Amino acid sequence: MSVDTATVKKIASLARIAMRDDEAEAMVPELNNILGWIEQLGEVDTSAVEPMTAVIPNHLRLREDVVTDGNCRDKVLANAPQAEHGFFAVPKVIE
Amino acid sequence: MTELTDLGVAAIRDGVRDGSFSAREVATAFNDRVAQAKALNAFLVETPDHALKAADAADAARASGDLKPLSGVPIGMKDLFCTDGVPTTAASGILDGFTPTYESTVSANLWQAGAGMLGKLNLDQFAMGSSNETSAFGNVISPWRRKDGGNAPLAPGGSSGGSSSAISARLCPAATGTDTGGSIRQPAAFTGISGIKPTYGRCSRWGTIAFASSLDQAGPMARDVRDCAIMLEAMAGFDPKDSTSLELAVPGWEAGLSSDLKGKKIGIPKEYRVDGMPAEIDALWEQGIAWLKDAGAEIVEVSLPHTKYALPAYYIIAPAEASSNLARYDGVRYGLRDLPDGAGLQDMYAATRAAGFGAEVKRRIMIGTYVLSAGFYDAYYNQAQKVRTLIARDFDEAWTRCDLLLAPTAPSAAFALGEKSADPLAMYLNDVFTVPSSLAGLPAMSVPGGLDGQGLPLGLQIIGKALDEQGVLNAGLAIEERAGFTARPEQWW
């Protein structure tokens, strides 16, 4: 499979990365080169194989459903580019 | 008298304990050496006060007979570990200005063990790279140079290139690294030091900036095997804050060190003899086999038939996980925000991520987004995870015939900066020997074996069964004792 400029722009939009047309065009051969290389995985017969879910056998732990953390609003907001009234502030999203 | 900065972790620990020198003298000596080594660009942030404070605590602890395992030992911290109150960027512009309000478990464990911090070490941006050329804050330079007189700046390896450069230049006796596909082992090999990636789950990932969560694993880098064992004991341990943390006691790896390999079988994976491998690497591998035989081990040839598919599987799985992990950088909660005039929320996300991520990070997010997108998930991601199962089975099969595997760490010695950066695929191929064990979550270590014709270090890699760090360390020690590697870069910086 290979990608064209329109596909690259669509992926960039899904990934929320702004990309000019010339940047998208430059990325087409780069991505096709890599995608062409990873396509060799198609040679491997995996019809009787389960996809890996954990490298080391390990069980998922459960814990009591109790509050173990919190009361640290100011720490959470300390690195926000813009914080107001104890909230993260973003540009207006509703007209 | 030996310079204090020439001492390793064990020598500093023991010297502080028996009063040969004070911890403050050690910290001061390393702080001075770090400050004089700006040409290497190994440190992003210097934290001399942190090192001095830990040193004073160590000297006080000695007086009161209360020394801890790493009392008096100052170390470098890869800037992928969040450190409370100390800027942490993962060498990316998107985290410029981020100062964590919490401490990663691995770094907290080290401070708890008495270590001090000399500073935060440069790396490939978000640990994505094999040469340290993707850092937003400039390349790290290896202290090593080819002996052709050309003085071309060489890559310290990556992604833990600040760590490898700093240790081999004696700016710190040890440092933390992280390994997703070889990021501890390949830089260790390039700079003539040792480094171990433990079994996946040994070291907590909590507070370590995520790249590919099913692969990311922290580990130590130092100048010898014993120092790696001491560091790993302090870093590892169960952490309820990481759902994949192994609920196991930390073995006494240092106390368990033994270079007697009688009764051990060492497998030589035939698929690792790749086309075009330099004769010097092949010769070192043969030498490594001879050393392990001399230590009492029996050598057997084994097959890992899916080896050639490990890299392509890795370059689906790792970018897929990265595209998901790096979705958090949105200009809202931390780091960079780029808000063009009149832009809405979606435009802000896209502008912020375009401005903050470097080219290689964007490339991997794009690949990851593509292979996870509707219609391609089965063909790419699911197929890669199935191949990963086969790669893990290959190792399981090998373990029925041997206890450990021996292979080269990297297919070449260090290359010059700029030599491979134009071709992402050529760069990816550097991890051909390290990626398979990462995909299987196995412990693996690189130790220096010798020098190539240009006077550059070459590393040998030992891969072990899950949880057998001791076996890996012991084989590493057997090689170390026989290699007698004492070469060090001549100081030019």
**Ordered DSSP codes for B22-42:** -HHHHHHHHHHHHHT-GGG--
The β-bridge relationship of strands B298-302 and B265-269 is parallel
User: What is the number of residues in chain B?
Assistant: 493
Q: Specify the residue for token string 């794009």.
A: B366
Which contiguous run of DSSP H or E holds residue B302? strand B298-302
User: Which pLDDT belongs to residue A95?
Assistant: 64
HSE (side-chain half, CA atoms, 13 Å) at B219:
39
CATH code for the domain in which residue A20 is found = 1.10.20
Reported as a pLDDT band with limits 50, 70 and 90, residue B265 is very high
Domain ranges, residue A33: 5-43
B255 contacts chain A (CB < 8 A): no
Helix axes B310-325, A21-38, angle to 10 degrees: 140
Alpha-carbon distance B98 to B76, whole Å?
19
Residue of A nearest to B336 (CA): A81
Question: Is B159 part of the annotated catalytic residue set?
Answer: yes
The answer to whether position B492 is within a domain reads: no
Q: In what order do the strands lie in the sheet with B444-451?
A: B43-46, B116-121, B74-78, B174-179, B217-222, B194-197, B444-451, B457-464, B404-408, B265-269, B298-302
Instruction: Give the C-alpha separation, B247 to B89, whole Å.
Output: 30
**Cβ neighbours, 10 Å, residue A85:** 5
CATH number, residue B58: 3.90.1300.10
Classify residue B99: in a domain, yes or no: yes
Reduce the DSSP state of residue B446 to 3 states and report it.
strand
> Would you say residue B199 lies in a domain?
yes
Q: What is the pLDDT of residues B347-379, one digit of tens each?
A: 999 999 999 999 999 999 999 999 999 889 999
Task: Give a yes or no: residue B399 inside a domain.
Answer: no
The SS3 call for residue B74 is strand
Chain A CB within 8 Å of residue B344 CB: yes
The model's confidence at residue B421, banded by pLDDT at 50, 70 and 90, is: confident
How many other C-beta atoms lie within 10 A of the C-beta of residue B353?
25
Rounded Cα distance, B234 and B476, in Å:
19
Place of tokens 């893990």: B392
Q: Tell me, yes or no, if B183 is annotated catalytic.
A: yes
Contact at CB, A60 and B243, closer than 8 angstroms: yes
Is the per-residue pLDDT at B32 higher than 70? yes
Confidence of residue B423 (pLDDT cuts 50, 70, 90): confident
Asked if B102 reaches chain A (Cβ–Cβ under 8 Å), the answer is yes
Of residues B217, B397, B314, B375, the one with CA closest to residue A52: B314
- Residue contact B366–A8, C-beta within 8 A: yes
Question: Is the confidence at residue B1, as pLDDT, over 60?
Answer: no
- A47-53: long-range contacts (C-beta < 8 A, 24 or more apart)? A49/B386, A49/B389, A49/B390, A50/B386, A50/B389, A51/B382, A51/B385, A51/B386, A51/B388, A51/B389, A52/B385, A52/B386, A52/B388, A52/B389, A52/B392, A53/B385
Is B284 a residue whose pLDDT tops 90?
yes
The number of distinct structural domains making up chain A is 1
The number of domains in chain B is: 1
Query: From B326, which residue of chain A is nearest by alpha-carbon distance?
Result: A15
Q: What does DSSP say about strands B404-408 and B298-302: parallel, antiparallel, or unpaired?
A: unpaired
Select which of B159, B194, B323, B421 is catalytic: B159
> Binning pLDDT at 50, 70 and 90, where does residue B162 land?
very high
- B225: CB partners within 8 A, 6+ apart: B194, B257, B445, B447, B473, B476, B477, B480
B85 min Cα distance to partner chain A (Å):
11
CA distance B311 to B96: 31
- CB distance B42 to B171 below 8 Å: yes
Angle (nearest 5°) at CA A41 between A37 and A47: 165
Residues B297-315 have a mean pLDDT of: 97
- Of the candidates B314, B22, B81, B69, the one whose C-alpha atom is nearest the C-alpha of residue B181 is B314
Q: How many Cβ atoms sit within 10 Å of the Cβ of residue B122?
A: 33
B153/chain A closest Cα distance in angstroms: 26
pLDDT band at B277 (very low <50, low <70, confident <90, very high): confident
Q: In a 3-state reduction of DSSP, which class is residue B114?
A: coil
Test the B interface: residue of A32, A41, A72, A74 with most B CBs within 10 Å: A41
ipTM of the complex: 0.95
Q: Considering only alpha carbons, which residue of chain A is nearest residue B365?
A: A15
Q: Are B173 and B12 in contact (CB under 8 A)?
A: yes
Residue B290 pLDDT exceeds 70: yes
Going by their DSSP bridges, the two strands B43-46 and B404-408 should be labelled as: unpaired
pLDDT at B75 over 70: yes
Check CB contact under 8 Å for A38 and B312: yes
In-domain check, residue A66: no
Query: Which of the residues in chain A have pLDDT under 70?
Result: 1, 95
Cβ contacts of A7 on chain B, cutoff 8 Å: 370
Confidence of residue B12 (pLDDT cuts 50, 70, 90): very high
In a domain, A72, yes or no: no
Nearest to B393 by CA among A34, A19, A14, A52: A52
Q: Chain A, 14-73: which have a CB under 8 Å from a chain B CB?
A: 14-19, 27, 30-31, 33-35, 37-44, 46, 49-56, 58, 60-61, 63, 72
Strands (E), B125-193: 174-179
Model confidence at B213, pLDDT cuts 50, 70, 90, reads: very high
- Taking all residues of chain B, what is their mean pLDDT, rounded to a whole number? 96
Quick check: B99 and B87 in contact, CB under 8 A?
Answer: yes
Residue B436 has pLDDT above 80, yes or no: yes
Is the residue at A34 inside a domain? Answer: yes
Quick check: is B340 in a domain? no
Catalytic hit among B68, B78, B197, B420: B78
Say which amino acid occupies B56: D
Q: Number of C-alpha atoms within 13 angstroms, CB side, residue B486? A: 3
Interface check for B152 against chain A (CB to CB < 8 A): the answer is no
The one catalytic residue in B183, B259, B323, B437 is B183
Task: For residues B166 and B88, give the distance between their C-alpha atoms in angstroms, rounded to a whole number.
Answer: 18
Burial class (CB in 10 A: 0-12, 13-18, 19+), B155: buried
Cβ atoms of B37 and B79 within 8 Å: the answer is no
Strands B265-269 and B43-46: unpaired
Optimal mutation site among A4, A9, A19, A44, interface B, most CBs of chain B within 10 A: A44
Domain containing B8 equals 4-263
Does residue A91 sit within a domain?
no
